């Protein structure tokens, strides 16, 4: 029996040290992304903070990424879900480049693809917890679109179809108009 036989066996299936460090802080979120379409192009801006709860944990998280030749995407929400979205997009762009036909995906096509991806994940009850802003220019056409987890996932009155009752002001006192801080205005 030699020394190699008596050493403990470590499996790569359990993950490396880098993998275990990623799971120490599983809930890292980013806040705001702004997209503006103007006369000469598209502008996207985002901060670089990654928050763990209410604490700013990471100060250099990039939440704006290029997608192909014509698009850029920005994300708020769960950073790990944004990384997964970027893996999907990298695979899509690689597949598109393999055709080598001179065409490349524009922002409308990428937006359409992401709409389907987020819908698919939502139907599997494993949604991607991100709000995305996608912008770009292809053939002189400016495009700016958004994607997000639907509002009904965190709506206070969400219920299965068979238990939902019609809303009335008597049952739901919060369903009336709220007053605004500005005189003469009201908000919902």
Distance between CA 84 and CA 110 in Å, rounded?
Answer: 15
- The pLDDT tens digits for 56-78 are 889 999 999 999 999 999 999 89
CB of 132 closer than 8 Å to CB of 148: yes
- The pLDDT tens digits for 143-169 are 999 998 764 444 344 434 433 344 444
**Per-domain residue ranges for the chain?**
27-146
Distance between CA 61 and CA 121 in Å, rounded?
Answer: 24
Comparing 178 with 136, the larger pLDDT belongs to: 136
**Alpha-carbon radius of gyration of the chain:** 23
**Model pLDDT, residue 151:** 47
Question: What's the count of helices (H) and strands (E) in the chain, helices before strands?
Answer: 4, 11
- Residue range 27-146, CATH number: 3.60.20.10
| Residue 139 banded pLDDT, cuts 50, 70, 90 | very high
| Of residues 31, 29, 122, 23, the one with CA closest to residue 78 | 29
23 is catalytic: yes
| Of residues 114, 112, 108, the one with CA closest to residue 42 | 108
Q: Identify the active-site residue in 10, 23, 60, 163.
A: 23
Q: Could you say which DSSP state residue 180 is in?
A: P
- The pLDDT tens digits for 4-31 are 555 444 444 334 444 433 333 347 888 8
């Amino acid at each position: 029996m030699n020394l190699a036989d008596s050493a403990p066996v470590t499996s790569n299936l359990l993950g490396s040290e880098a993998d275990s460090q990623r799971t120490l802080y599983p809930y890292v979120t980013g806040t705001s992304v702004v997209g503006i379409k103007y006369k000469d192009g598209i502008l996207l801006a985002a901060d670089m903070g990654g928050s763990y709860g209410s604490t700013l944990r990471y100060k250099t998280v990039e939440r704006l990424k290029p997608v192909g030749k014509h698009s850029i995407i920005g994300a708020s929400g769960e950073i790990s879900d944004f990384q997964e979205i970027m893996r999907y997009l990298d695979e899509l762009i690689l597949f598109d480049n393999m055709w080598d036909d001179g065409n490349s995906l524009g922002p409308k096509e990428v937006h359409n693809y992401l709409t389907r991806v987020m819908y698919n994940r939502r139907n599997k009850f494993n949604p991607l917890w991100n709000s995305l802003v996608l912008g770009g220019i292809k053939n002189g056409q400016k495009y700016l679109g958004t994607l997000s987890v639907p509002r009904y996932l965190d709506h206070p009155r969400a219920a299965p179809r068979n238990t939902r009752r019609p809303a009335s002001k008597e049952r739901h006192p919060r369903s009336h108009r709220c007053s605004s801080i500005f005189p003469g205005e009201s908000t919902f």
